[in-house]
Amino acid sequence: MKKILMCTIAVTTLWSQNSFEQNCIPCHTERKVSLQKAYMNALLVYGGKKNMKAALEYYFRYPNKSTSVMDEEFIQKYGIKEPLRLDPKEMNEALDEYWDRYTVVGKLR
């Protein structure tokens, strides 16, 4: 009975998580890499939501040192990530969630 309950909880948790929580947070948590710092680096380079989302989507599909917004020290420590194999809907959902969580635009008073 306990095993069934634990499996049900695990499956429910996975279904309730969005693409960002499933595909981004675990890796960043495991490596202790700040999503907020990565966001700020990308925002400095790309300047706005539309450009940032397009550039990050390209990078996540085709990771390359020359298109990374992270500094040389970071790349030496962690390397270049593996391509994300998300369908376009999941990728868009993850990037929207990333933007919504870390942007300060419209949140300051």
pLDDT in tens, 61-89: 999 999 998 889 988 988 898 998 899 99
- Give pLDDT, residue 18: 86
109: number of Cβ within 10 Å: 3
| DSSP codes joined into one string, 44-59 | HHH-SHHHHHHHHHHH
If you average pLDDT over every residue of the chain, what do you get? Answer: 83
Specify the pLDDT at position 5.
Answer: 42
Confidence of residue 23 (pLDDT cuts 50, 70, 90): confident
Residues in the chain: 109
**Domain segments of the chain as ranges:** 2-102
Evaluate whether 93 touches 23 at the Cβ level (below 8 Å): no
In this predicted structure, the answer to whether residue 10 has a pLDDT above a threshold of 60 is no
pLDDT of residue 7: 47
Per-residue pLDDT, 30: 83
Which of 91, 104, 103 has the alpha carbon at shortest distance from 24? Answer: 91
